[in-house]
Homo-oligomer: A and B are copies of this chain.
Amino acid sequence: MSTGDAKIDFPPENVRKYLEPGPIVLISSQWQDEHDIMTLGWHTIMEFSPSLVGCMISAINHSHQLIRASGECVINLPTADMIDQVVAIGNSSGTQVDKFRANNLTPRAASNVQAPLIDECVANFECRLYDDALVEEYNFFIFEVVKAHIRRQPEYPQTLHYTGAGIFNVSGATLLDKSADFRPGML
């Protein structure tokens, strides 16, 4: 795990580079003096600009309540070497443990939201709730990424992709560049 490397700003309209591949992410949230972290694999890019991401956050998660109350969260991207922390976070409850402390993770102040960034993650996307039309029925939150931070290297981090039953695929070790076969407008 690399900690404390300086991050640079990244254009929010380009976060598809990190999220469209479908990695497991860590959602951090804060409401008043409570914070939490949860694992999430049920998310999708919905628009470039505004930069919209849809997330299915079950109401059984403590984080659900903090995010509804605050209207904010941070989507953090863990790399494959953080798998033990990812699994531990997904198998514990924020009502019982401080997930930063229990998992040796470093909270860092965000720029535009109260929720803390997870410093160890390779990218952090600060989000504000953009549309809650489907929250009541499906627990589906549409967030706008209002600020994005990334570690410059690796350019294509190895990420975790969950298949259920405790089994993860690792992505990012093999890259295929097919840009020469794209029409210019499709790149």
Q: Can you name 13 A-B residue pairings with CB atoms under 8 Å? A: A14-B164, A18-B163, A20-B164, A21-B161, A41-B45, A43-B44, A87-B181, A90-B186, A91-B186, A156-B167, A165-B187, A167-B177, A168-B175
Neighbouring B residues of A160 by C-beta, 8 Å: 176
CB nearest neighbor in B for A181: B87
A47 to chain B, nearest CB (A): 7
Given contacts A14-B164, A20-B161, A165-B187, 7 further A-B contacts (CB under 8 A): A18-B163, A83-B176, A90-B186, A91-B183, A164-B187, A169-B174, A170-B171
Give residues of chain A (136-154) contacting chain B, Cβ–Cβ below 8 Å.
138, 140, 142
Within 8 Å CB of A138, what residues of B?
A: 46-47, 52, 142
A178 touches which of B44, B45, B166 (Cβ 8 Å): B166
In the complex formed, the residue of B with least CB distance to A174 is B170
A45 & B56 in contact (Cβ 8 Å cutoff): yes
A94 proximity list for chain B (CB < 8 A): none
Shortest Cβ gap from A177 to chain B (Å): 5
The smallest C-beta distance from A9 to any residue of chain B, in angstroms, reads: 18
Closest to A23 in B: B22
B174 adjacent to A187 (CB under 8 Å): no
Which residues of A line the B interface, CB within 8 A?
14, 16-18, 20-23, 41-47, 52, 54-56, 80, 83-84, 87-88, 90-91, 133-134, 138, 140, 142, 156, 160-183, 186-187
Q: Which of A14, A160, A167, A171 has the most CB of B within 10 A?
A: A171
Complex Cα gap A171–B22 (Å): 10
Cβ-defined contact, A167 with B174, below 8 A: no
Closest Cβ of chain B to A82, distance in Å, is 12
Cα distance A21–B44 in the bound complex, in angstroms: 11
